[in-house]
Structure 1
Amino acid sequence: MAIIVLVTMLFCIGDLGTVITSPAPYLDLFNNTGSVGVALLLSIILFLLIFLAAITALATTSRETWAFSRDKGFPLSRWISRMNYKRNVPDNAVYLTSVVAGVICLINLGSTTGFNVVVSLNLLALLSTYMISIGCVLHKRIMKEPLPPARWSLGRFGFPINAFALAYSGFVIVFACFPNQVPVTTKTANWAPLVWVSVIVVAIVIYVFHGRKYYTPPVVFVEGRKQAGVGLQTISDL
């Protein structure tokens, strides 16, 4: 479906020079329909999808923040991991995630370049985490170690699919570090590698001074692996 949409956009987007210089190329595409009503309807659908995606992203990131705080991975984890059992919602994690996202958006008011520097972390962060998780599974397959039972499995195609996914992610990471154009200036530079490495350094510092003392990886609570006398992970109530 994405290929069909892409081909349709490329044939209907109009003059390429105008689109490149436009602050909102998709609006030019909608206007090329020749109907103001259709362009307005498509814009409403797009903004509605973005709004719903933002809610999904907030729900996801707040739950991930809560889960990591439950394992005492963050400073102030006790406050972040508190759960509102009446609604089954980690309120503090939602508030924290919303405030941080809002602060990041405010950067765009002062400097578009600064905002792009922060959000450029997205691709490299996703690909690197994919490589870690896929690499662990691939390592188990290579070492002939059994994987945990699951309702759905790739079966015999698991090894080649995992190997291709790992190689492709590494390939994309290399090219994601290249600048968009030359000559490279402050505004056109690709800041993703610098931000990526900086976040890794900050994470290492947090682990050295906090994580290694307080962080409890979830595996220590898994039945069959946890030590005698270790109970389930607990959290505070709001």
Structure 2
Amino acid sequence: MLAISNAVYSFLGSDCGAHLCEEIPNPAKNVPRVILYPLLVGMITAFPFAVSLLYAITDLEAVLSSPTGLPLIEIYYQGTHSKAAASVLLALFAFCFFGNLVANGTTCSRTLWAVSRDNTMPYSHLWMEVSDTFEMPLNAILLSATVITLYGLIFIGSTTAFSAMVSCAIIFQQTSCVIPQAIVLYRGRDKVLPQRYFNLGRLGPVINATAVAWVIFLDVLYCFPVALPVTAQNMSYVSVVSGGLVLFVIILWFTTKKGVFRGPKVDYELMNERRLVALGETIGVEVDVHHKVKGSNDVDSLKLQPLAVTDACM
């Protein structure tokens, strides 16, 4: 079961497309593709790669106790019997991390910029600024780069602390993604969700319920120790780190944000116009932003009610 939790780490960046909605053309159609296509490609490519690694292992104990702390180096060496070949293969693997780092910095800075625009962060006025020269949130990306660098240094100081931070990142991400699904499941998908391109249909409630149950199970599982008896060295510090971060948010709320935070400023008129266009495309008619329908006399059936808060969040 602990191995299952490790596999979830590979999905950690699957929400990047959602953080770039404002910069993606036609996000209602393209963002689901951005989220799903990499998962499909990853499944097709990662499975044979994992199988080949398993067949390359000849000494499992050496892999588990590798002095480098990176079992992949030892697996490459056992598979090739050459330190040079293992180094080249690992270099190719590390090269991919540079591309991931760009995506990491981009999505982190855009998320920081977005929440600062809603006055969520300390010193939000700094992180919400957009550079006139570079036409991007420069302050936000510099802060993200600094925090990411410091986060990487944790691995050098303590692998236990680093593992706890990684597990907490997964817990917070998957929990934040599943809360809207729980709300939709509780209130009823047809009552909450607007017309949209990506519609799960009858499978929607099943998928939402499965996701909620799965995340609850994983959140508990991440707090389990990896060995018995439990000592200060081998215990899981995920609960400690998670509790500390939640405590930080609570303190931030009561000290600076309570009574001040107003949430995202949603242009309901614009969002209703976009919903109207999406609805028209769904039923096969052309709709302009002034609620004029071409090829249909049933205009009233296309007019939408004002958005609820949950609609805007979804």
Above 0.5 in TM-score? Answer: yes
Deviation at 1:69, TM superposition (A): 0.3
The structure showing larger relative contact order (alpha-carbon pairs under 8 Å, at least 6 residues apart) is 1
Deviation at 1:225, TM superposition (A): 5.0
Q: Give the aligned residue type for 1:87.
A: F
Give the alignment of 1:27-46 within 5 angstroms.
27-31=73-77, 32-34=79-81, 38-46=85-93
Identity of aligned residues (%): 29
Q: Secondary structure at the match of 2:130?
A: coil
Confirm whether residue 11 of structure 1 aligns to residue 55 of structure 2: yes
Moved over 6 A (4+): none
Distance 1:75 1:178, change over 3 A: same
Distance 1:140 1:49, change over 3 A: farther
Deviation at 1:220, TM superposition (A): 4.6
Structure 1 CA distance for aligned equivalents of residues 116 and 191 of structure 2: 31
Q: Give the aligned residue type for 1:210.
A: T
Unpaired stretches in structure 2, ≥5 consecutive residues: 1-43, 270-305, 309-314
Deviation at 1:63, TM superposition (A): 0.7
Structure 2 CA distance for aligned equivalents of residues 195 and 146 of structure 1: 34
Give the alignment of 1:105-124 within 5 angstroms.
105-124=152-171
Further displaced range: 109-118 or 199-208: 109-118
Q: Deviations over 1:14-57 (max 9, x none)?
A: 21111000122111222213455643442222111111112111
Which residue of 2 is the match for residue 167 of structure 1?
213
Residue among 97, 103, 106 paired with 1:50: 97
Count of equivalent residues: 225
Structure 1 CA distance for aligned equivalents of residues 247 and 85 of structure 2: 48
Give the alignment of 1:43-122 within 5 angstroms.
43-122=90-169
Aligned partners of 1:117 and 1:191 also within 8 Å: yes
Q: Deviations over 1:170-214 (max 9, x none)?
A: 111121110111222222111111111221121122122222333
TM-score, normalised by the number of residues in structure 2: 0.65
Unpaired stretches in structure 1, ≥5 consecutive residues: 227-238
Output the aligned Cα RMSD.
2.2
